[in-house]
A = this chain, B = another copy of it.
Amino acid sequence: MFDIFPVKGGLSVVEGFYCDGVNVGIREGTQPDVAFIRSDNLCDVSATFTTNKFQAAPIKHYLSHEENFQTNFILINAKNANAMTGKRGIEDIETILSAIPKNLQPHNPLMSSTGVIGYPLPKEKIISAYAQFDFQAKNSDAAAQAIMTTDSFKKELAYKVELSDGSVFHIAAICKGAGMINPAMATMLCFITTDADIPKADMDSLLKQSVDQSFNRISVDGDTSTNDTVMLLANKQSGVYNKEAFSQALNMLTHRLAMMILEDGEGANKVVAFEVKNAASEADAQKAAKALSNSLLVKTALFGEDPNWGRIASTIGASGIDCDEEKLVIKYDDLIVYSKEFPILDSEREAKAFEIMKQKSFKITCDIGLGEASFLNYGCDLSYDYVKINADYRT
């Protein structure tokens, strides 16, 4: 039917899109701090945003547009979130976007920001980027670097999708996020571009479903930022589309990026899948899986590689779901560490559990034994470095 090939080059592989990143001195050093993404053709755009009530100014600015508006330009800056900045925050965006060179024919240009809350944007610095950008560049690497904050590596991905008739479209993304990541909400910044000839209705429905299965399934620290944005831009330039192929490529893209965010979780050393199965209800399964991903005692036990399943059980019991210690079964990968039949973790099985926990990634399964509902969520450990990164963040 179709083939999906991972390809190098990030955003640069998508037809008709251009991007670049430059340093204008918002951050020290030479790493880019402002990026643009633009398209020759006007793009349809879909987005999901943070559930935080205090949405940042760029999100309010986006939402002030008419439904189904099109755009051909996005400007992104790091190190300043433009959140809790009131009317001035919106005015600053308008000032900055009105200075985009006219020869680019900007149409409903958008802005996105990430960084510290509560300070006005450094307008002049950001505007100075226009003189530095190469607007004909396809410099995905620089754009991906520009949007990093506490990220320790840049996050970009691209896929080429080839249909059975040999026709081709592309989908690609850059992404940032390493902390302040919480499940069940939109999350971090992610900009996805495609040249597929996708209808706007499919963009909306497929993006929502894809984000629910990826970025909404991960937790680094249980906090939810004011700026979280996932945006999909489609310039239709390939003239090619297949819904199933697009959906599958989009899901691969968002799942892989979500795992990259977790791998880069602030101070994290491990990615752990928490599966809660056979819960009495979907809500219970989700509540327990997210409680496990967010428990400090579970996260520190992961860091310590301590097969202390009691903390898993205690977190299930405290999560407020229906549960029964006689029915509960806890597994690390395929090893049962607790069930009514094996209530004591003997030294042999404990040694096996320890081996499993030493891996960079593994799975903890809690079979509640009361129903048929399941939920899979991904988390990471909590290390000294998380504390260090977040105690020192602004300095």
In the complex, whether A81 has a CB less than 8 A from a CB of chain B is yes
**Chain A stretch 304-331: residues in CB contact (< 8 A) with chain B:** 304, 306, 308-311, 313-318, 320-323, 325-326
Q: Given A300-B387, A309-B118, A384-B388, A315 and B223 touching (CB < 8 A)?
A: yes
Interchain CB contact under 8 A, B182 and A318:
yes
Interchain CB contact under 8 A, A318 and B224:
yes
Interchain CB contact under 8 A, A88 and B314:
no
Interchain CB contact under 8 A, A391 and B304:
yes
Name the distance in Å between A288's Cβ and chain B's nearest Cβ.
Answer: 11
In the complex, whether A90 has a CB less than 8 A from a CB of chain B is no
Name the distance in Å between A386's Cβ and chain B's nearest Cβ.
Answer: 8
Interchain CB contact under 8 A, B391 and A317:
no
- What residues of chain B lie closer than 8 Å to A224, measured between beta carbons? 314, 318
Interchain CB contact under 8 A, A317 and B52:
yes
In the complex, whether A340 has a CB less than 8 A from a CB of chain B is yes
Query: Roughly how many angstroms separate A318 CA and B120 CA in the complex, as a whole number?
Result: 22
- What residues of chain B lie closer than 8 Å to A120, measured between beta carbons? 344
5 additional A-B pairs beyond A83-B310, A118-B338, beta carbons within 8 Å, are: A52-B314, A118-B313, A223-B311, A296-B296, A387-B387
Q: List 23 A-B contacts (CB under 8 A).
A: A50-B318, A53-B318, A84-B325, A86-B325, A86-B340, A117-B311, A118-B309, A118-B310, A119-B344, A221-B297, A222-B294, A222-B295, A226-B310, A226-B317, A296-B296, A296-B386, A296-B390, A300-B391, A304-B395, A306-B394, A308-B393, A382-B387, A383-B387
